């Protein structure tokens, strides 16, 4: 794409995230054409009307074949990223935004990554946390050596169970829809980005499923990575907190210890609490989801994409999306995760699940065939 050429954008998947990004696209002056696709025609046509899309279809191949398309967002359910991504690459589209994970099957993820790299495509993965001001500031402090050499990282994510319930109820392909693969990947990506240059050589993890086994997924996974330079990285997540837990979606804590200092991050959103007689909505509220009970206390700002003001979403997903448009439209440098980052993250989250299933240390890198459950 030549510099400042208008973007012809295809958005495949018109659910919660596809809707957000498509509406941002309509606001961006560099978008010259917008096409949408979803297998749910009613859902897709509603978004087409709201975003004033130029084209809608239920067939992603039809959308990708349109001559106007030169950039693609893949925002389907987690299990279905691979086919439209491969189809976009086969059509010669070089600018891709793929929601995490790259795939939920390790071999398919490698196939997608290989296709992206062979085509020379500029593909990024949706890790919205990278666009929050606090993490960009921390990244700069680490890059400039303000705490010396990092020797230990402790990461803990707490999540409301609305996310796993809403996620797994949409499919019967649930074996890889685990706390780490679907959601822990966000905090793992952040930790690996902050530790950039360090490679994990082993992991030991454990899981349990007392609350969410009825939905076909785990409650929690706790693990310990050893890095190639001896750095220890503890990665823990529970996405089984009750629906009434005040965090709409994500609460994150990260401690980073270095030879000359420490960075301690509390990103739990407990500094902004709303308590009301008026029931509060679900932070993650896809079409047809029933949260089952009312919530009356909320940690505001705990919905990762951002917060609503006068019907508009403001926050990191706005910045992430519009910075990608700038990356495509004007060639600006951005902190997006690459496809290779996304593939690495999938393998590490699945290695944690493998270690938990076996009850033993898993050496890294692991053979892809071992990551088939």
DSSP 8-class letter at 139: H
pLDDT in the model for residue 283:
66
pLDDT in the model for residue 50:
97
Confidence of residue 2 (pLDDT cuts 50, 70, 90): very low
- The 3-state secondary structure of 233-277 reads EEEEEEEEECCCCCECCEEEEEEEEECCCEEEEEECCCCCEEEEE
Q: Strand 71-74 relative to strand 95-99: parallel, antiparallel, unpaired?
A: parallel
pLDDT in the model for residue 172:
58
Are the beta carbons of 74 and 99 closer than 8 angstroms?
yes
pLDDT in the model for residue 267:
96
Q: What is the pLDDT of residues 233-262, one digit of tens each?
A: 999 999 999 988 999 889 999 999 999 999
State yes or no: pLDDT of 211 exceeds 70. Answer: yes
State yes or no: pLDDT of 116 exceeds 50. Answer: yes
Query: Considering only 41-50, 86-95, 304-313, 353-362, which range has the smallest mean pLDDT?
Result: 304-313
Mean pLDDT (whole number) for 151-177: 83
Mean pLDDT (whole number) for 261-282: 93
Nearest residue to 324 via CA among 63, 20, 119, 45: 20
State the Cα–Cα distance between residues 50 and 31, nearest whole angstrom: 16
Query: What is the CATH architecture assignment of 132-304?
Result: 2-Layer Sandwich (3.30)
Instruction: At 369, give phi and psi (nearest 5°).
Output: -65, -25
pLDDT in the model for residue 164:
87
Domain with CATH 3.30.360.10 in the chain: 132-304
Q: Which two tokens stand for residue 274?
A: 């709303």
Share of the chain above pLDDT 90, in %: 83
State yes or no: pLDDT of 287 exceeds 70. Answer: no
DSSP states of 8-72: EEEEE--SHHHHHHHHHHHH-TTEEEEEEE-SSHHHHHHHHHHTT-SEEES-HHHHHT-TT--EE
pLDDT in the model for residue 281:
75
The third-level CATH classification (topology) of the domain covering 7-129+318-336 is Rossmann fold (3.40.50)
- Rounded to a whole number of angstroms, the distance between the first and last alpha carbons of the chain is 41
Nearest residue to 20 via CA among 51, 53, 55: 51
Nearest residue to 349 via CA among 248, 254, 237, 264: 237
State yes or no: pLDDT of 112 exceeds 90. Answer: yes
State yes or no: pLDDT of 119 exceeds 80. Answer: yes
Domain with CATH 3.40.50.720 in the chain: 7-129+318-336
pLDDT in the model for residue 91:
97
> Full-prediction pTM beyond 0.75?
yes
């Amino acid at each position: 794409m030549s510099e400042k050429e208008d973007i012809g954008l295809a958005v495949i998947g018109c659910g919660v995230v596809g809707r957000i990004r498509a509406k941002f696209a309509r606001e961006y002056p560099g978008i010259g054409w917008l096409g949408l696709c979803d297998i749910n025609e009613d859902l897709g046509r509603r978004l087409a009307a709201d975003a004033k899309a130029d084209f809608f279809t239920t067939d992603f191949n039809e959308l990708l074949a349109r001559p106007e398309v030169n950039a693609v967002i893949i925002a389907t359910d987690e299990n279905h990223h691979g086919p439209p991504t491969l189809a976009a690459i086969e059509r010669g589209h070089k600018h891709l935004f793929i929601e995490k994970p790259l795939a939920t099957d390790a071999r398919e993820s490698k196939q997608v990554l290989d296709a992206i790299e062979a085509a020379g495509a500029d593909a990024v993965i949706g890790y919205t946390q990278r666009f929050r001001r606090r993490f960009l500031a921390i990244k700069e402090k680490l890059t400039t050596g303000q705490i010396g050499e990092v020797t230990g990282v402790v990461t803990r994510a707490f999540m409301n169970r609305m996310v796993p319930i809403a996620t797994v109820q949409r499919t019967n392909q649930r074996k890889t829809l685990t706390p780490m693969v679907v959601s822990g990947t966000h905090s793992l990506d952040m930790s690996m980005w902050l530790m950039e240059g360090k490679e994990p050589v082993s992991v030991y993890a454990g899981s349990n499923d007392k609350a969410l086994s009825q939905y076909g997924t785990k409650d929690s996974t706790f693990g310990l990575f050893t890095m190639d330079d001896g750095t220890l990285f503890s990665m823990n997540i529970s996405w089984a907190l009750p629906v009434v837990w005040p965090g709409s979606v994500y609460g994150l804590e990260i401690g980073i210890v270095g030879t000359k200092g420490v960075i301690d991050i509390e990103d739990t959103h407990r500094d902004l609490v709303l308590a009301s007689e008026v029931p509060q909505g679900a932070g993650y509220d896809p079409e047809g989801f029933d949260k089952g009970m009312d919530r009356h206390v909320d940690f505001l700002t705990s919905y990762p994409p951002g917060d609503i003001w006068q019907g508009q979403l403001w926050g990191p997903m706005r910045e992430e999306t519009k910075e990608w448009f700038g990356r495509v439209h004007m060639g600006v440098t951005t902190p997006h995760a690459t496809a290779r980052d996304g593939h690495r993250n999938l393998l590490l989250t699945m290695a944690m699940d493998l270690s938990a299933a076996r009850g033993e240390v898993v050496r890294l890198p692991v053979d892809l065939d071992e990551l088939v459950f």
